[in-house]
Amino acid sequence: MQIHEAAEVVQIVGDTDANEKLAQGWKLLAVVPGLAQGSSLNTLVI
């Protein structure tokens, strides 16, 4: 899938929310480092 094929792109913080979206049929496009300095969370682009 190419990014231009996506109908909607959202950013999710945290595994639980990401897993819920994936279970609903969303596709994972990217995982990027945390939001703020010292943050251990990843931002998932779905």
Alpha-carbon distances, residue 29 vs 11, 16, 45 (angstroms): 10, 17, 5
Q: Is 3 helix (H, G, I), strand (E, B) or coil?
A: helix
Instruction: Tell me the pTM.
Output: 0.64
- State residue 20's pLDDT score: 93
Between these two residues, 45 and 23, which has the higher pLDDT value? 23
35 confidence band (pLDDT: 50, 70, 90): low
Size of the chain, expressed as the number of residues it contains: 46
Asked if pLDDT for residue 30 goes beyond 70, the answer is yes
Tell me the pLDDT tens digit for each residue of 10-23.
888 888 888 999 99
